Structure 1
């Protein structure tokens, strides 16, 4: 009987065939590593596979290298309508995950699974998040109960916190990581009226209002209010449609500018019901007339790949077809580049169980101070960025061989 090969099993929880999964598999092939064992989100959600059994099979089918645990990597669950609806359904049945901070719309599990595919529509984000937290907790428990030693690339408990911008900022602040100030404590602004009260008491007339569980610029508003006249401007990707006496909210994929009070109030009320992170609007530094921030990848406690995201608008997310630019010599001073990297590293260090994240760092105009905009546990899909001649996935896989 042939001897079982000694390898370090690598389990990848993700959506098969998407660019993230394919990118990681290509990197492993290039480096001579066996393919990752892909566990589809859809199969885990419908319970046709179970993580505990997959761990046992991986340990049985290979002879794990001595002292090397089975690695489990979580990938982004997005870009799959079936998985999105399954997570919303799971959220309908889950009562344990931070429901105190959201009173958003809900739908039964049965109706969630029958939701039609509507391109761009933002579907029950608070309930989706509760469902994802339920899945993350279940996966973490299954791994803990397995007999094999395992290591998460990013601990599911950390991923749950990173995905809630309020909880993430709270953790960062507790660890001394610079984040934008808030006009009121997280979760205390429940609607448009309480937002106005917070604006007046804090004198923060320019704010970023973010859907707590949003990504890719979905559910974000750059909001400003004149302190004397009360006139308002909201720059956002959020579109609103009326359908059968129901308000539908969607990610338009491009920025819209609202000035009418009624629409601004409607959108802010909805965001606050679903759960919103509200923070001071810090004016970003600029390059060639465009405001920018930095997506800095941190792996195993060290900075590596980085991109500048440039925009003529206040919102720099690359999903809005903003310019991506590699960090080249002379773009940032050596001191500022080091400061950006240090801030990003300190952000990931706040999460004891995680080793990889794309950290969004803004540089304040004129003052040069750095702040964390976002911590993305799946923020390593950076096109054309290289570090020591490797793309992001190749670099991460190469570290396994050290």
Structure 2
């Protein structure tokens, strides 16, 4: 049968994001498919310049400014979006803009979908890990997580941390980075030799650039130079957990949690320590991974439960993307990161039995936020 379309009346939606970006386009598609009117789009440059306006009765969704070059320039003061530096300034300006936007929305009599007060924690890996650990969510060991942890001032600090038990192999991450920007997988043999695997490319004058090619630096001098250049933006250091593998490739999971429930999952595999798809990673076989979890004596539902517990640490954010790290043997799981805008997974439909079958991540959010008045458990579109 065909489910009747949603009535045109309803909340007036606004999305703050990149008007020309994929995220906004996918969200608008989800609204149209659900029979809802399209959202009014406000760009991040409008917000950052203080020109954004809202009206009573509007419902405002915040999305990532990540694909907007103008927003990136305003947030980081960089002349090239490939530059790595500036994440500390990005964080300061973005969180301030989000707080100002929240005030403007409240003064206008509009409402926000999510609580922007959680963004300063979500976008600081040190604070996020500290919150997760305090909530009992398993995370990689880190001497730099939590609000009172010592700050990493440069390579000398990282070098001393690798002398601690269990930390000969660590990830050094920008505290406010995303998409593997500035991430280094650092290893030492304990006898003074170091190497780092990273997508960071050193340019003229010591400038750093994000590259689509993962490379390895085997000179401590080079590794130290990169870490020292990144340190002013803030660094997070965590144990490099031995991940599970599939087909000889490192594997982890991105799990999307909508309204407290894990609804979507994708297995990411790579020949490098970074599984990000833009760095040569590829989607793996999720069914095979689930079978490996069962064969190891664990349960798929337990893996999803870890993700839901991580999302519960941020109750004011309706949708997060959780990076789940399965340990070697697929028996144990830890949360690497919780991403406020971790839903950009085009073409991925919901997990069976999790309330979002047949829906992509954006459609699942629309269905959770604006349930169909005639819905009886279907997806809200044509059904047999």
TM > 0.5 fold call: yes
Measured after TM superposition, the shift of residue 327 of structure 1 is 2.2
Q: Once superposed, what is the RMSD of the aligned Cα atoms?
A: 1.9
| 8 Å CA contact 2:8, 2:36 repeated in 1 | no
In 2 relative to 1, CA 343–203 (structure 1 residues): closer, same or farther, beyond 3 Å? closer
Instruction: State the distance in 2 between where 1:9 and 1:187 align.
Output: 45
How many angstroms does 1:159 deviate by?
2.1
Separation in structure 1 between the aligned mates of residue 150 and residue 88 of structure 2, nearest angstrom? 13
Measure, in 2, the Cα distance between the counterparts of 1:383 and 1:308.
Answer: 14
Could you list the per-position Cα deviations for residues 55-109 of structure 1 after superposition, in whole angstroms to 9, with x for gaps in the alignment?
Answer: 33xx3xxxxxxxxxx4321111112221112123xxxxxxxxxxxxxxxxxxxxx
Corresponding residue to 2:343 among 380, 384, 399: 380
- Alignment correspondent of 2:382: none
CA-CA distance at 1:392 after TM superposition = 1.3
Alignment partner, residue 84 of structure 2 = 122
TM-score, with structure 2 as normaliser? 0.87
Indicate the residue corresponding to 2:17 in structure 1. Answer: 14
- TM-superposed deviation, 1:326: 5.4
Aligned mate of 1:80, from 52, 58, 68? 68
Gaps of 5+ in 1: 60-69, 89-111
Contact 1:216/1:318, CA 8 A, preserved across alignment: no
Could you say which residue in structure 1 is the equivalent of 2:3?
none
Describe the superposition over 1:295-315 as per-residue Cα deviations: whole angstroms up to 9, x where unpaired: 000000111111000012211
| TM-aligned CA deviation for residue 333 of structure 1 | 3.5
Alignment of 1:174 onto 2:137: no
Aligned residues: 352
| Contact residue 25 and residue 35 of structure 1 kept, 8 A | yes
Determine the structure 2 residue equivalent to 1:55. Answer: 55
- In the TM superposition, what is the alpha-carbon distance from 1:353 to its structure 2 partner? 0.8
Q: 2 CA distance for matches of 1:55 and 1:346?
A: 35
Out of 126, 133, 149, the position equivalent to 2:95 is 133
1:284-342 per-residue CA deviation (whole Å, 9 max, x = no partner) reads: 01112111110000000111111000012211111212111352265444543212211
Which of the numbers 180, 201, 204 marks the counterpart of 1:217?
A: 180
C-alpha distance 268-27 of structure 1, shift in aligned 2 (>3 A): same
- The answer for the alignment partner of 2:261 in structure 1 is 302
SS at match of 1:214: coil
Give the equivalent residue in structure 2 for 1:320: 279
Match of 1:142 among 99, 104, 117: 104
Using the alignment, how far apart are the partners of 2:17 and 2:109 within structure 1? 23
**Match among 341, 344, 361 for residue 392 of structure 1:** 361
C-alpha contact 2:143 2:237 (8 A) present in aligned 1: yes
Against the structure 1 CA distance between its residues 184 and 167, is the aligned structure 2 distance closer, same or farther, given a 3 Å change threshold?
closer
- The counterpart of 1:28, out of the listed 27, 31, 44, is 31
Deviation at 1:234, TM superposition (A): 0.3
Question: What residue is the counterpart of 2:124 in the other structure?
Answer: 164
Name the counterpart of 1:64. none
Secondary structure, in 3 states, of the residue corresponding to 1:135? Answer: helix
1:329-359 CA-to-partner distances (Å, cap 9, x unmatched) read 6544454321221111001100121110110
1:390 to 1:160, Cα distance in 2 relative to 1, 3 A: same
The TM-score normalised by the length of structure 1 is 0.83
The answer for unaligned runs of 5 or more in structure 2 is 1-6, 351-356, 373-384
